[in-house]
């Protein structure tokens, strides 16, 4: 019963390096999203996807790329890491319609530090 799986759990990068945060879900959810969590700011939406091949920007998309080639996977790419991207990143998924819309299932988070 895996749910939403994120890897890695911890990562340290140097400024300018690139990396990919992985996210996979096994609930056949159409909707997947990435949030970042910063102290005192709650969670802010970075990018989201409503199905394979469809992605869109959230509130804070700059410096991040996403793609959705399968229903299960939704990786988040940092193209050139900056210290401002130091944060905890959460992947979340949900059904796109029906009574359970809005019930996000979260991964355990990926803590990223950019030096």
Partner 1 sequence: AQSVTQLGSHVSVSEGALVLLRCNYSSSVPPYLFWYVQYPNQGLQLLLKYTSAATLVKGINGFEAEFKKSETSFHLTKPSAHMSDAAEYFCAVRGPKGAQKLVFGQGTRLTINP
β-strands 10-13, 110-114: how paired? parallel
Among 101, 112, 113, 114, binds partner 1 (CB under 8 A): 101
Any contact of residue 96 with partner 1 (CB under 8 A)?
Answer: yes
Confirm if 92 and 31 have CB atoms less than 8 A apart.
no
Any contact of residue 26 with partner 1 (CB under 8 A)?
Answer: no
- 17 versus 50: smaller Cβ distance to partner 1: 50
CB of 8 to partner 1, least distance (A): 14
Strand partners, 68: none
Helix (H, G, I), strand (E, B) or coil at 57: strand
At residue 101, φ and ψ (nearest 5 deg) are -60, 135
Binding site for partner 1 (CB under 8 A): 4, 31, 33, 35, 40-45, 48, 56, 58, 90, 92, 94, 96, 99, 101-104, 106-109
């Amino acid at each position: 019963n895996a749910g939403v799986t994120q890897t890695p759990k911890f990562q340290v990068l140097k400024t300018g390096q690139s990396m990919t945060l992985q996210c996979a879900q096994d609930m056949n959810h159409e909707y997947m999203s990435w949030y970042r969590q910063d102290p005192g700011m709650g969670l802010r939406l970075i990018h989201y996807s409503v199905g394979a091949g469809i992605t869109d920007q959230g509130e804070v998309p700059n410096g991040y790329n996403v793609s959705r080639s399968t229903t299960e996977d939704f990786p988040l790419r940092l193209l050139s890491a900056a210290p401002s991207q130091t944060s905890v990143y959460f992947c979340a998924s949900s059904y796109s319609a029906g009574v359970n819309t809005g019930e996000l299932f979260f991964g355990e988070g990926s803590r990223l530090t950019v030096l």
